Structure 1
């Protein structure tokens, strides 16, 4: 089973005086890249939030946000009455106006409004943590669903590569015979006598340099290992990436050794399928 690194999770909590919205977005990244946005009152909880997200989400570019919307009368700002009165008294000596006009001017001055620093209500925070976990699980489920789509695509492409490999295997005797005939024809065109036994020895040596038996076996093993790793309990995009690199090496070696146009065409098709697998692996957790 594999998980995509792309996902989205959201949870909304309605408290007596506010609505709290928790939102998570995830994109692919080589490592964990976490960006957290939240009101200042919750900043002291940021380290614990980061630990939870790192443990559960492992890897990816994660945007975590907490939005708070007041839904009832709940303010931490208060009018500093003594200061405002002093401002109004001083303004009376400078400008003409009634008390309402003077009040409008006074509240704009420094320290006219005082802000009381809010403290976290731990009971409230425990409720928010529950909703945060819901948002995280929502994102994980999204990742799982995206992973199923990727898994289906990988299965189709590995099957396509395996079928192309079967065609390479079936074509190989014909290729070797073609190499033998070309060499024999080349020697005969020299119109000189040659030692047939020596020619056969040289031919065997030459053909061995173009032998792709090991590459065919290793490529088949890599394809099987890729499928086995994809169906394992844990999602491991890096491991699948390493296996795909090994698959690429075997395919490239088959192409360089083949010296046979029809087989090279099959190799090109295998490379095309593998490149599409590699592109999608960038999104796998």
Structure 2
């Protein structure tokens, strides 16, 4: 199964303490990297959230964000004792600094002055985990849909590679015969005749250096392997990336052995198609 590394999913649910929201987005990355942004009420849940995501995602740079928006009926209260202590402190400071002014909004921002609704941490964490499961399901489905599109593009390019390999294989007998005829014509122009046995031996050695059957066979094998990998379960990106290195190595060898314009053009076309496949594979998990 092919899955893209790029995806986005989000969901919300109502809780007894307000609206809990979750967003999960990802872009390409060589490994799994997860960043989190959580409200204070869910800080302790971060290890469990990371474990749950990493159990279902293997690659990508992910950003997980959770927010808790308090509902209107949960009005904020004031800790009277804390406010009283602050008042005494302000009066003490004003006796020393007569010009000192105090803003109420500044006092309310001090830790412990404002009190929100009491949160059941365990229940809220359970809600957060359930919401993450919902978002993860959407996220993985989005990855799968995008992966299907990438797989179709890759299959098209691999089919193009297969056609080029078959074309080179079909033209090789004519290329070898043409090179043999050229060499024999050059030998015929020599003033000093060569020993026929030696000539045949040199011709065979030269044609062996130009032989690309082994490279074509390996390319056919790699094409079959790509099909198997694409149909396998789990992440496939790294395996495909390795295969493309092997594809590129055979294409380079094919080009270096070429002595004919047609096979040289085929080698260039192969490299273009391989590079196009690589661009798509970089997006796969």
TM-score for both structures, normalised by structure 2: 0.89
Do the aligned partners of residues 32 and 161 (structure 1) sit closer, same or farther apart at CA in structure 2, a change above 3 Å counting? Answer: same
**Equivalent residues in 2 for 1:131-142 (5 A)?**
131-142=131-142
Whether 2:222 is the aligned partner of 1:222: answer yes
Number of residues paired by the alignment? 279
In structure 2, C-alpha distance between the alignment counterparts of 1:33 and 1:145, rounded to whole Å: 22
Do the aligned partners of residues 181 and 4 (structure 1) sit closer, same or farther apart at CA in structure 2, a change above 3 Å counting? Answer: same
Whether the 8 Å contact between 1:107 and 1:113 is mirrored in structure 2 is no
In structure 1, C-alpha distance between the alignment counterparts of 2:107 and 2:154, rounded to whole Å: 66
- Deviation readout 1:59-81 (Å, 9 max, x if unpaired): 11000000121222243753534
**Equivalent residues in 2 for 1:76-225 (5 A)?**
78-79=79-80, 80-83=82-85, 85-86=87-88, 105=103, 108-109=106-107, 114-115=113-114, 120-225=120-225
In structure 1, C-alpha distance between the alignment counterparts of 2:215 and 2:97, rounded to whole Å: 94
In structure 1, C-alpha distance between the alignment counterparts of 2:92 and 2:198, rounded to whole Å: 117
* Corresponding residue SS for 1:63: strand
In structure 2, C-alpha distance between the alignment counterparts of 1:184 and 1:165, rounded to whole Å: 29
Do the aligned partners of residues 220 and 185 (structure 1) sit closer, same or farther apart at CA in structure 2, a change above 3 Å counting? Answer: same
Q: What displacement does 1:255 show?
A: 1.2
Q: What displacement does 1:83 show?
A: 2.6
In structure 1, C-alpha distance between the alignment counterparts of 2:221 and 2:111, rounded to whole Å: 76
In structure 2, C-alpha distance between the alignment counterparts of 1:76 and 1:195, rounded to whole Å: 108
Give the equivalent residue in structure 2 for 1:266.
266
Whether the 8 Å contact between 2:9 and 2:139 is mirrored in structure 1 is yes
Greater CA drift, 185-194 or 112-121: 112-121
Do the aligned partners of residues 12 and 260 (structure 1) sit closer, same or farther apart at CA in structure 2, a change above 3 Å counting? Answer: same
Do the aligned partners of residues 59 and 192 (structure 1) sit closer, same or farther apart at CA in structure 2, a change above 3 Å counting? Answer: same
Do the aligned partners of residues 15 and 109 (structure 1) sit closer, same or farther apart at CA in structure 2, a change above 3 Å counting? Answer: closer
In structure 2, C-alpha distance between the alignment counterparts of 1:156 and 1:105, rounded to whole Å: 68
- Deviation readout 1:198-229 (Å, 9 max, x if unpaired): 21111011101111111111100100111111
Do the aligned partners of residues 92 and 255 (structure 1) sit closer, same or farther apart at CA in structure 2, a change above 3 Å counting? Answer: closer
- Deviation readout 1:15-64 (Å, 9 max, x if unpaired): 23411110000111111111000112211111111111111111110000
Whether the 8 Å contact between 2:2 and 2:230 is mirrored in structure 1 is yes
Gaps of 5+ in 1: 97-101
Gaps of 5+ in 2: none
In structure 2, C-alpha distance between the alignment counterparts of 1:12 and 1:214, rounded to whole Å: 58
Whether the 8 Å contact between 2:77 and 2:115 is mirrored in structure 1 is yes
Q: What displacement does 1:120 show?
A: 4.7
Q: What displacement does 1:91 show?
A: 8.7
Q: What displacement does 1:254 show?
A: 1.2
Whether the 8 Å contact between 1:20 and 1:68 is mirrored in structure 2 is yes
Whether 2:238 is the aligned partner of 1:238: answer yes
Give the equivalent residue in structure 2 for 1:75.
76
* Corresponding residue SS for 1:223: helix
